[in-house]
Structure 1
């Protein structure tokens, strides 16, 4: 009886999954470890079945956040379809706080992690992700260097596929609401997460009343990402005299609408609302929601280009300067002129 993978792993002092990665040419394996596995293959006499030919296919972990926004789900779905069409294998682990799902993908032979988030990940695999566009011109976004890698990261370990212009998006929303006469504009954001922190920071920096009001802190409602959280936020911001709100999550936006109905008030007559990210459901809220829409197909294409760059595959690669995506305001019926 020939040697099994377990025999090779025991001889090399590594896991079976590491042996599998070396045999399949997938994933990141240190050269010293690879040398031990290859030596163990020779000493144990392991022979790979001719029915299991080496394949150029590689496994890519397409990772939505643990609590994704609907636009992040759309981006993950689109990038997975693009990569599968190019005969890459795709797994879809969530970015759980403990990182267990990403580690499981790495053990299965994942060669790269791609994710529509703004946060550096603690993993030995190469990462392709987004970053926030910087204020001003030419300055790297927080946590990233000009070359597309985070400060302190090993060369090639992280690539910024695109920058998302949160400041430009908020400015569009502020300009739209200010043109309708709103000055007391609030923010509904998640109570955890880097994206929520960035939105709150940009909200304070770009608010049209920042020089005239000391109440900006009262106009930020950081609540759970849920329908109930949106209801709580709407009540708080209405009591703080806000006449309009910008809302991070779709679930929170639905809660804002529900809270207004519960108080026998009307959107947009008593409270205008702007959502972050578009989806089919936003067109059928009561009334249809004004949103900051994102170019999800373009963002997915940028992430796919990052994967090709990291894996040295044919097709479109990352440009020398990552593209910047600015949200687009889609004005619907959930915003109107402020009541005098």
Structure 2
């Protein structure tokens, strides 16, 4: 495999500049792990500085997009996949799905696979790249976009999210207007930006209404049903239990429903429940779930168009976008019973 800049520079010359062997440069190009960090950084710097690219008979990238999830499964992921799929199908681009697991960071095997097949771009969903992985993609000019960033990615990282703080405040204000004052909050993982923003929106709404923030009413989980059930059971076991619970996801809200049933509590007569996401299941449960609508498909569509624009050398109007959210009031909320 030869690397060229204007058909002048070979992989051997890159190796000579870096002071390493040709096989070592090849290993770096393919994302192999058996290269020291110092050597990898030196070769990556040369590749990025001079814009080296592989010599191919046609385009330098395969007509595909890599879509990487922290965890594939459930309606939340399905909504995002549908959003990406609709755009790539219209563009004649293939879609490759990957799962990075509990670490929220792709394994080295994944980066090796990406560098080998050279997709048009990568979309990271609720997951993240470490600096070395990011450098490897940037050196190969493989753009990436983050959907629902785990942390504050910085202004130079393309990302699509939603107005999580406003959503958390909106959900809490809805319950306050109904007359609730003991409002429980079940957030997601504390290390994730979207969860912290939703909890911050919740606490801001309480303070705005002159309601003290009680740490005993705030729990955290993993956005899944089981953690919603666990945290709701604890909240509803308090001597002065909440009359309403705002769950950080619709799946956690389903766990709240289960806990309420086990304790013989009626929703919404004894307990009001608000979710987040507005997944299809929100309208299938009984009573139907009041929730914050997060435009998941639109987020995925915009992320896909953004990464395709970057792959084509088009400068986007903005690298970071947070889409608006809306309340969807249904049957799971009511004024507290006297």
Query: Quick check: 1:204–1:210 contact (8 Å CA) kept in 2?
Result: no
Q: 1:25: which partner in 2?
A: none
CA 1:119 to 1:174, structure 2 compared with 1: closer, same or farther past 3 Å?
Answer: farther
- Measure, in 1, the Cα distance between the counterparts of 2:106 and 2:279: 29
Q: Which runs of 5+ in 1 are unaligned?
A: 21-27, 39-47, 133-140, 150-157
CA contact (8 A) 1:119 1:131 kept: no
Residue 167 in 1 paired to residue 165 in 2? yes
Q: Is the 8 A contact 1:257 1:286 kept in 2?
A: no
Aligned twin of 2:301: 301
Show the 5 A alignment for 1:186-197. Answer: 186-194=184-192, 195-197=194-196
Match of 1:223 in 2: 221
In the TM superposition, 1:34-183 aligns within 5 A as 57-66=62-71, 70-96=75-101, 97=103, 98-100=105-107, 102-103=110-111, 104-117=113-126, 121-122=130-131, 123-124=133-134, 125=137, 126-130=143-147, 142-145=152-155, 149=156, 158-160=157-159, 162-183=160-181
Inter-partner Cα distance in structure 1 for 2:127 and 2:59: 35
Pick from 183, 201, 225: which aligns with 1:185? Answer: 183
The alignment partner of 2:308 has SS state of: helix
Post-superposition offset of 1:321: 7.1
The equivalences for 1:223-262 within 5 A come to: 223-238=221-236, 239=238, 240-262=240-262
Aligned residues: 292
Instruction: Tell me, yes or no, if the aligned pair for 1:130 and 1:164 is still in contact at 8 Å.
Output: no
CA distance in 2, matches of 1:289, 1:166: 19
2:158 is paired with a residue whose SS is: strand
- Say if 2:300 is the partner of 1:290: no
Distance 1:143 1:16 in 2: 28
Aligned partners of 1:12 and 1:37 also within 8 Å: no
Cα distance in 2, alignment partners of residues 208 and 118 from structure 1? 32
Structure 1 stretch 108-117 or stretch 268-277: which is displaced more? Answer: 108-117
The alignment's TM-score, normalised by the length of structure 2, stands at: 0.72
Q: Which residue of 1 aligns with 2:269?
A: 269
Deviation at 1:175, TM superposition (A): 2.2
Cα root mean square deviation, aligned: 3.6
1:17 and 1:109 in contact (8 A); partners too: no
Q: By how many angstroms is 1:110 displaced?
A: 3.1
What is the CA-CA distance between 1:116 and the residue it aligns to? 3.7
Determine if contact 1:76/1:115 at 8 Å carries over to the other structure. Answer: no
Deviations 1:271-299 (A, max 9, x none): 11111011221111121111111223321
The 8 Å contact of residues 161 and 299 in structure 2, kept in 1 or not, is answered as: no
Where does residue 155 of structure 1 map in the other structure?
none
- Judge conservation of contact 2:188–2:195 (CA < 8 Å) in 1: yes
Q: Indicate how the Cα distance of structure 1 residues 82 and 232 shifts in structure 2: closer, same or farther if over 3 A, else same.
A: same
Once residues 295 and 184 of structure 1 are traced to their aligned partners in structure 2, the CA distance between those partners, rounded to angstroms, is 29
Alpha-carbon distance in 1 for matches of 2:52, 2:291: 54
Change over 3 Å in CA distance of 1:201–1:179 after alignment to 2: closer
SS, match of residue 84 in structure 1: helix
Is the 1:247–1:276 Cα contact (8 Å) retained in structure 2?
Answer: yes
Residues 172 and 120 of structure 1: is their aligned pair in 2 closer, same or farther, counting only changes over 3 Å?
farther
Residues 285 and 29 of structure 1: is their aligned pair in 2 closer, same or farther, counting only changes over 3 Å?
farther
Greater CA drift, 279-288 or 59-68: 59-68
Offset at residue 143 of structure 1 (A): 4.0
